[in-house]
Amino acid sequence: MSARWIAETLHANEGLTTSFRADKILYEESTGQQELVIFDNPTFGRMMMLDGATQVTTSDEFIYHEMMTHVPVLAHGAVKSLLIIGGGDGGILREAARHKSIERITMVEIDPEVTAFSREHLPMVSAGAFDDPRLDLVFADGTKFVAETDQRFDVVIVDSTDPVGPGAVLFEEEFYRNAKRCLTEGGVLVTQNGVPFLQPGELTSSIGKFRRLFTDGSCYLATIPTYVGGPMAMGWATDNAALRFQGVEILHARFADAAFETRYYTPEVHAAAFALPRYVEKCFPTRV
């Protein structure tokens, strides 16, 4: 029997598709919200794809999850409450839970099936974090949650799919405005903003909205092998502009206090991630 290859079609409009060999299909079905498939690949390990776009692989997920989480938490330096929008695989939750100084973690996932599948087929990603007593797991529309909640958070992390299908609303200005409403003074919003080389419009749109709503709107970068086309951008928005420029010495002290090991994140990588190539800077809209 010939091997089955599963295509990622996210960049089809840009003339690029990527195929992954599926040695074993663990699950494949429409959840009613999204088309989901979980399978094993010899290079990237166990993979989950939604609507033709890779969401997580067990071989390199640590890069994305560490950088999405530790950069805002350690830049802020005093996070007590953290909100995750999306992130049904539990990777962001796992990294957030490693910070023992965080007292409350709220996770809002629109599709309970994604979390159920992840806990069954990708338990190594969450690594038991769903059982953390600090977690409040809410199955709801993240856009409604940030518009209606009375809770406030020091960091909001939006671990979304790309701006197609159900995830598109998480890139709208109304969502960002309501996310800001949920932040404590000087809090940080971090978002997934795609690969700028292939998706420059996504970054331009988000940064423009950030700069209308926040004092500081920018991004930082991480190179994740699964996501082809160059480094991935993580959107950054806060009213405390100094947080983006935390010195390495301060980051080292905070990282030492956190007292856990990482596989990608270091204070030096943290600081350098905000140094952007010229082609990425050119994605930024001119501030009005």
Phi (first) and psi of residue 211, to 5 degrees? -75, -20
Amino acid at 98: R
Say if residues 225 and 45 touch (Cβ distance below 8 Å): no
Closest CA to 114 of 99, 97, 126: 126
Q: How many CB atoms lie within 10 A of CB 118?
A: 24
- 159 assigned to active site: yes
**Two tokens at 95?**
């990294």
The active-site residue, picked from 51, 60, 89, 159, is 159
Q: What share of residues in the chain are helix, strand, coil (percent, to 5)? A: 35, 30, 35
Distances (CA, A) of 141 to 12, 160, 169: 28, 12, 10
Dihedral sign, Cα of residue 35, residue 45, residue 268, residue 266? positive
Q: Just list the catalytic residues.
A: 159
